[in-house]
Amino acid sequence: MNDDTTLEQPIFLAIPYDQKEQARKAIGQLTDGRSALSYDAQQGLWLAKAGTPHSRIEPWLPKPEQFDTPTHQDPSMELTQVLEAAGFILPEAPLFDGQKHRVATQDDKRGQKSAVYCAYSDGHPAGWYQDHRTHSEPQKWAASFTHSDPLAKLHIKAHQANRRARREIETTKRYQNYAKRCSQAFKLMPPANIDHPYLMKKNVQVFPDVRQDKKGRLVIPLMDENHKVHSLQRISLNGFKCLKKGAQKTDHFFVVGYKPLKDGEPILYAEGYATAASIAEATNRSVVMTVDAGNMPKVAEKLKAHYPNSHHLFLADDDRNNKVNKGIEKAQQAANLTRGTWLCPNFIQEQIEVGLTDFNDLHMSSGLGVVQRQIEYKLQSCCPTQAEKPRAIEYNVIEPEAENIPSFTKTKAANQQLNDQFKPLTKLASSKAVDDKVSATKKVTAQQPKSPLFPEHINQHYLAVDNKYYFSNRPKTLAFIDKGNKLQTKLSHAQVIGDLLSIAKQRNWQEIRLSGTKAFKQQAWLNASVQGMRVRGYRPNEDEIKQLNALKMKEGSKSAMPQEATPINQIESVIDDNKKSLDKTSVLQSAQEFCKALPVEAQQRFLDKVKTKLEIFFKPSTQLPSQSPKQVNPSNTTQHSIYQIKEPQHEQSIEH
Based on the fold, state whether residues 289 and 237 are members of the same structural domain.
yes
Q: Any bridge partners for residue 489, and if so which? A: 396
SS (H, E, C) 515-552: ECCHHHHHHHHHHHHHCCCEEECCCCCHHHHHHHHHHH
Of 185-194, 538-547, 560-569, least confident by mean pLDDT is 560-569
Q: Do residues 197 and 232 share a domain?
A: yes
Mean pLDDT of 294-302: 93
Residues paired with 253 in a beta bridge: 223
Q: Are residues 534 and 405 in the same domain?
A: yes
Residue range(s) defining the domain that contains residue 121:
75-165
Instruction: Give the whole-angstrom CA distance, residue 424 versus residue 31.
Output: 93
Phi and psi at 415, nearest 5°, equal -105, 20
C-alpha–C-alpha distance, residues 13 and 655, integer Å: 95
Q: Which value, in Å, is the radius of gyration of the alpha carbons in the chain?
A: 38
Between the alpha carbon of residue 629 and those of residues 623, 632, 633, the distances in Å are 16, 5, 8
Domain boundary among 491, 525, 559: 559
Q: Is residue 39 part of a domain?
A: yes
Give the residue-averaged pLDDT of 289-297: 93
Distance of alpha carbon 436 from alpha carbon 432, whole angstroms: 6
pLDDT of residue 390: 67
In this prediction, residue 221 has a pLDDT band, given cuts at 50, 70 and 90, of: very high
What distance in Å separates the CA atoms of residue 460 and residue 470, rounded to the nearest whole number? 11
| Beta carbons of 69 and 144 less than 8 angstroms apart | no
Nearest to 485 by CA among 547, 607, 398, 563: 398
pLDDT surpassing 50 at residue 287: yes
- 1-10, 287-296, 408-417 — which is least confidently predicted? 408-417
Report pLDDT for 451: 45
Residues 360 and 461 in one domain: no
Instruction: Work out the average pLDDT over 88-104.
Output: 85
For residue 488, tell me if it sits in a domain: yes
Shared domain check, 410 and 528: yes
Looking at the chain, the whole-number percentage of residues with pLDDT higher than 70 is 77
The last residue of a domain, from among 148, 165, 182: 165
- What does the pLDDT look like over 14-59, one tens digit per residue? 888 888 888 888 888 888 888 989 888 888 889 889 888 888 888 8
Q: Is 634 or 352 the better-scoring residue by pLDDT?
A: 352
47 in any annotated domain: yes
Q: Indicate if the pLDDT at residue 259 is higher than 90.
A: no
Is 215 found in the same domain as 305? Answer: yes
Are 359 and 255 part of one and the same domain?
yes
Sign of CA dihedral 519, 522, 526, 528: positive
Counting DSSP H helices and E strands in the chain, the numbers are: 20, 24
Whether residues 460 and 353 fall in one domain: no
Number of compact structural domains in the chain: 5
* Beta strands 287-289 and 267-270, pairing class: parallel
- Which of 217-221, 226-230, 390-394, 587-591 has the least mean pLDDT? 390-394
DSSP string for 585-628: HHHHHHHHHHHTTS-HHHHHHHHHHHHHHHHHHT---SS--B--
pLDDT tens string 108-135: 887 788 899 998 876 678 899 998 878 8
User: Are residues 136 and 197 located together in one domain of the fold?
Assistant: no
Whole-number average pLDDT of the chain: 79
